[in-house]
Structure 1
Amino acid sequence: MRPPKPRISRPRLNWRWVRGKWEPYHRVTWSEGGKQRCREIKLDWRGDAQELDRLYWLAQAGQHQAQARPSRYTWRECIEAWRRDKVRGAGKVKATTRASYQRPMDAIMEKNGAKDMRKTTRQAVRGAVGKLSDTPRKASRYAQTVSLLWTYARRELDWPLGENPASGLAYYKPARAFEPWPEWMVEKLEEAPASVRIAAQLILGTGQRPSAAITMRRDQFSGEWMSVHDEKGDQWLEVYCPPRLRAFIQDQPVRGSHMLAKNLTEPLGYHAIEKAFRSWRSTLGERAAPYSLHGLRKLAIVELAEAGASDAEIQAVTGQSAEMVAYYRSRASRRRLSKAAQERRK
């Protein structure tokens, strides 16, 4: 037998017997196209008369959360549209570039997904970028992502957006050219964690970008040759594998299809290796602070130049531009000339 209905009566308040208990509903009626329509909102009062009173008056004023209209022009809507778009959105960029946008887009979705893009201010974007100032690359990528989405929403979705609030905020540039590692730091790799040691040898031995070297598969090495991916040119190249790198690879235990294996089929990510590298570098003191993983690629140029390789030969290995090769060749020339000069003093 049902218990008696609560003795709370107000205009537009209806009581319904739902799943063994009385539940209050706020009812609104209106005319549309000559027909009468209605809508009911359940008031989750939880048996508390005061809470029912609060929810009732919110509904009367049209301010109950169930009465809120779904926001348009939201960051979530824009990101989902960009990801679905195979022509002018995600499908327009390379897989590696698309992957680099994944993390900042997820962060935007989590914190601002339901927010109206039109209300985004330059001050807010600057503040978000500023919080990432300790990691300039992440800060730059975040600003680039905001700018990308804003431009996409204006041009492809025809959204009524104003000036791009992220314009000019993706300011990251290396403060100076990447420094080639000194000999003492290369020697210290013997004491580094395995992931850092393997990544360093791959970057130095292949001369490739850290992101490409870190994700190399074991089947990219075959005898005297290795298959490397030129990310900038988006092409695969056959390059001679130096004996030192061949010997190093043969000594590494097989833990998956990749040299730096996360599991049997996936590689460790660049960010995981970078984090491990920074942690190891901090143990070496202040003199190690100027050097990054990219510095190993530059060291590869210097070593090749000191060994007498031509600019074209260095480019064939590292894929670096002629200007970059010329810059680091000058570094190698100074080292070689200074050694020759100092040895004459003997």
Structure 2
Amino acid sequence: MAKRELPKHVYRQRNGIYFQRRGWPSQKFENEFGTPEFWREYAGILTQKDKPRKVVSRNFGALIDSYRKSPRYRNLMPRTGLDYDKHLDFFKEIMGETNPAKMQRKDVIRLRDSNAHKAYFANYSLRVLRILMEHCVDLGWRDTNPARGVPELKTQKRPEREPWPRDLLDAYRQACPLGTRERLVMELCVGTGQRIGDVLNMRWSNIEDGSVWLRQSKTSKELWVPILPELQAALDAASRHSVFLLTKESGTNRWSYRGASAAIRKVRDRIGALDYDIHSWRYNAACELLEAGCGDDLIASVTGQSPAMVQHYTKKVRQKIRAVRAQQMRTEQSRS
């Protein structure tokens, strides 16, 4: 389509048709060019006398503000949004006044490499920048995403998580008596097999008829999980001064992830369990269910995991169980 076929102030970009006029905010058309709906939309833009016509500064500050108002950002899980905010604030601080349309691939690589001493931060920043620049393309501010295809820094592979050994779980219980938040959060994680975010969101109203009702924040699955005796003892000893099961030390508000993580790390350090973190308790739940003879479907009915994730969380214990059985069969065969 030649430019002359388009009406005044209308331009075709790689990802659509935009109204672009000096002193007016850029606006993407929702309808195909030439349709009656397009012409009504075009006329509506020209007659927006009641809306302020101000120039939108095309800098990273404005881009980040726009992204935070977009469905891309609003649909993020709360925890993910907090993680993104750290990097968005970082971008705003170091290049808030610069024009994102001028960013090149070499600039993205330079930004990544400037944080090479913090590989995790550098790689996460790259992921967020990739999404941010895709939003820049969607706005029609540029045609291509310079962060797309830029590889992340290679890092040393972390050891795979494993469930807490029985002796360390016993040590944790000895270090955190019934009635403490540290004990209750552990029993909730191990006893229900849920993610820490869902555990921290649990309320007393979620407990009914000896079970915990919940909707997983990540998958939206609704689960009904019977309460184990160890968890029931922790619940019976817990303070009930809030709607939440786990609250801040002074107040009725929900215990934050940061606060819970810091408190649990102190215990882990004290008992020599730094190699095992909060999320490893979810492995304990899945592995204990497997060791009890549960099939994958029964394990998933408690943890809410997909079949593939059940296999992943239990693969080491599963291998040990199978190896024991295999060697038993081998021994029986040699004796026959």
TM-score with structure 2 setting the length: 0.66
Work out whether residues 303 and 332 of structure 1, in 8 Å CA contact, stay in contact via their aligned partners in 2: no
Partner residue, 2:215: 229
- Please give the root-mean-square deviation of Cα atoms over the aligned residues, in Å: 3.5
Q: Are the aligned partners of 1:202 and 1:214 in contact in 2 as well (CA < 8 Å)?
A: no
Deviation at 1:314, TM superposition (A): 0.5
Name the counterpart of 2:31: none
Q: Which amino acid letter does the alignment assign opposite residue 217 of structure 2?
A: E
Is 2:302 the counterpart of 1:317?
Answer: yes
Deviation at 1:318, TM superposition (A): 0.5
Q: 2 CA distance for matches of 1:140 and 1:276?
A: 28
Equivalent pair of 2:223/2:302 in contact (CA under 8 Å): no
2:270 to 280, 283, 287: 283
1:303 is aligned, of 272, 288, 308, to 288
Judging changes above 3 Å, is the alpha-carbon distance between structure 1 residues 267 and 170 closer, same or farther for their aligned structure 2 residues?
farther
**Contact kept? 1:144, 1:166, Cα under 8 Å:** no
Please report how far the alpha carbon of residue 204 of structure 1 lies from its aligned counterpart in structure 2 after TM superposition: 0.7
CA distance in 2, matches of 1:177, 1:304: 20
Identity of aligned residues (%): 22
* Aligned match for 2:258, one of 271, 287, 302: 271
Distance 1:223 1:151 in 2: 49
Tell me if the contact between 1:215 and 1:269 (Cα under 8 Å) persists in the aligned partners: no
Report 1 or 2 for greater relative contact order, CA contacts < 8 Å, sequence distance ≥ 6.
2
Query: Does structure 2 retain, via aligned residues, the 8 Å contact 1:208–1:318?
Result: yes
Q: Distance in 2 between matches of 1:250 and 1:76?
A: 51
Equivalence map 1:1-346=2 (5 Å): 72-85=57-70, 88-117=71-100, 118-119=102-103, 121-127=107-113, 129-133=115-119, 136=120, 140-159=123-142, 163-164=146-147, 167-169=150-152, 175-189=158-172, 190-192=174-176, 194-262=180-248, 264=251, 266-285=253-272, 288-327=273-312, 328=314, 331=317, 334=320
Q: Deviating runs (4+, > 4 A) in structure 1?
A: 170-174, 192-195, 335-341
Give structure 1 stretches of 5+ with no counterpart.
1-69
Higher strand share: 1
Name the SS for the 1:73 alignment partner.
coil
Q: Which SS does the other structure have where 1:130 is aligned? A: coil
User: 1:249 & 1:225 partners in 2: Cα distance?
Assistant: 12
Q: Which has the larger radius of gyration?
A: 1
Q: Give deviations 1:167-202, integer Å, cap 9, x for gaps.
A: 432878962431110012111223159444332222
Which shifted more, 227-236 or 161-170? Answer: 161-170
How far off is 1:304 after superposition? 0.9
Gaps in structure 2 of 5+ consecutive residues: 1-54, 332-336
Distance 1:209 1:322 in 2: 17
Q: 1:158 is aligned with what amino acid? A: W
Q: Secondary structure at the match of 2:271?
A: coil
Structure-1 separation of matches of 2:198 and 2:155? 21
Alpha-carbon shift at residue 322 of structure 1 (Å): 1.5
